[in-house]
Chain A
Amino acid sequence: MAYLTDRKRAVGMGSAKTGTDHHWHMIISSVALLGLIPCFVFTFGHALGMEYSDALAYYHRPFPAILAVLTLMVGFLHFRNGVQTLIEDYMQGMARKVALIAMICLSYSAAAVGVFALIRIAL
């Protein structure tokens, strides 16, 4: 290791590997969310505070349900990529790996639980 030059040690690190792809996916999901978020805020905000049967009937309808499915899926994917950057910036070594795996698993799990709930309401 001690014989490696500084340049050799740096080549292939950072955005030279998957950074561009990561950034591009961040752009795609942010543009998608730009459309989804305002619609979701107003549909979910409308449903929040309703009685149980009214809320159930509301999320039984296709538009609010599909909107919520898309927002949860794209939103948690966007979060998964964003939190990855946060962890990579502030943590090193084993702690970084553990945090990355935990937060990525949490992101996919939360999206899956939410989507499953919406499917169950719809059916």
Chain B
Amino acid sequence: MADVNRGNRPLSPHLSIYRWQMTSASSIFTRITGNGLLVGALLIVWWLTALAAGPQAFARADAVITSWFGNLVMVLSLLALWYHTLAGVRHLIWDAGHMLDVGQSEKAAYVIIAGSVVLTLLTVVLV
């Protein structure tokens, strides 16, 4: 029978035994940023809804989003957005069959981190 010794067999080692690496860290951050962007996206939906609803609703939403805390959330969302966008480009390159070895992936990870910081600063300055 196939179920003999089920639940009592050695399992392959998981995340906890590995040291931090650029490849895994940059991948984990892609997931965190992508899902975390929900917060910024919902704030934008709220802002647009308030804009459609009228001046009073707009004043309320706009005050929250342009407060220091709102600004902090929006700038962090911007950083997450650029990071996730650049990491998405790396995924598209991988899907096309390029840059699949560790060295190139690590180099791309540094480009993604530096690029997202630069793009965030550029956006903050230009907008």
Closest B-chain residue to A7, C-beta based? Answer: B2
- Assess whether B88 is in contact with A55, with CB atoms less than 8 Å apart: no
Contact of B51 among A9, A56, A82 (CB under 8 A): A56
B35 at the interface (CB under 8 A from A): yes
Interface centre among A6, A68, A113 (most CB of B within 10 A): A113
Residues of B within 8 A of A42 (CB): 123, 126-127
Binding site of A, secondary structure by majority: helix, strand, loop or mixed?
helix
B59 at the interface (CB under 8 A from A): yes
Binding site of B, secondary structure by majority: helix, strand, loop or mixed?
helix
A19 at the interface (CB under 8 A from B): no
B41 at the interface (CB under 8 A from A): yes
Question: Quick one: given A5-B2, A79-B37, A121-B52, are A44 and B92 in contact (CB under 8 Å)?
Answer: no
Closest A-chain residue to B48, C-beta based? Answer: A117
A52 and B48 alpha carbons, distance in the complex (Å): 11
- Assess whether A30 is in contact with B88, with CB atoms less than 8 Å apart: yes
A119 to chain B, nearest CB (A): 8
Interface residues on A, range: 35 or more
- Assess whether A34 is in contact with B88, with CB atoms less than 8 Å apart: yes
A45 and B124 alpha carbons, distance in the complex (Å): 9
- Assess whether A37 is in contact with B52, with CB atoms less than 8 Å apart: no
Contact of A86 among B3, B35, B37 (CB under 8 A): B35
B25-67: CB near A (< 8 Å → 1, else 0) gives 0000001001101100110110111011101001100100110
